[in-house]
């Protein structure tokens, strides 16, 4: 984009300079009276100023179009990035919820196993104590 801008400035300067030099040379070599020459210089300079004005207006319009295109593209990129981040956040929340659910299940299952083993150990200890008492009494 910077090269286009630089090229556009160069073309504009070349256009204006070339036009002015060409007009000046054409007027100087044309056999006319001073009054006619001044009138023609005035007319030609007005024509070249109008053309330069037109070129500047076109350049401004093109610059505005480029800026608007850039804005649209950046807005789309921002919108896409926001949508992606929202999607990633939802996925992360889903994974977190699944992990919590699995953790709850594992904790519950682990607690049940601990309770079961505790009950088995108590039963075994009670049986051992009962057996000890029985052998001691005999």
Average pLDDT over residues 77-89: 94
Higher pLDDT, 68 or 40: 68
Arithmetic mean of pLDDT over the chain: 84
Assign 33 to helix, strand or coil: coil
Of 5, 48, 8, 9, nearest in space to 26 by CA: 48
What domain range is 30 assigned to? Answer: 2-137
Q: Tell me: the pLDDT tens digits for 29-50?
A: 767 677 777 787 788 788 888 8
Q: Distances in Å between the alpha carbon of 56 and those of 10, 78, 132?
A: 12, 33, 110
Total domains in the chain come to 1
d(CA 134, CA 111): 34
How much is the pTM? 0.45
């Amino acid at each position: 984009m910077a090269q286009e801008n630089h090229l556009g400035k160069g073309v504009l300067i070349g256009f204006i300079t070339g036009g002015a030099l060409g007009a000046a040379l054409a007027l100087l070599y044309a056999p006319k009276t001073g009054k006619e020459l001044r009138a023609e210089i005035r007319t030609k300079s007005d024509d070249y100023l109008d053309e330069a004005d037109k070129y500047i207006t076109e350049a401004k319009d093109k610059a505005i179009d480029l800026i608007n295109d850039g804005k649209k593209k950046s807005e789309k990129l921002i919108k896409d990035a926001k949508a992606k981040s929202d999607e990633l956040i939802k996925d992360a929340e889903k994974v977190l919820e699944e992990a919590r659910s699995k953790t709850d299940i594992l904790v519950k299952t682990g607690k049940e196993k601990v309770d079961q083993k505790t009950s088995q150990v108590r039963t075994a200890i009670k049986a051992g104590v009962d057996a000890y008492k029985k052998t001691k009494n005999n």
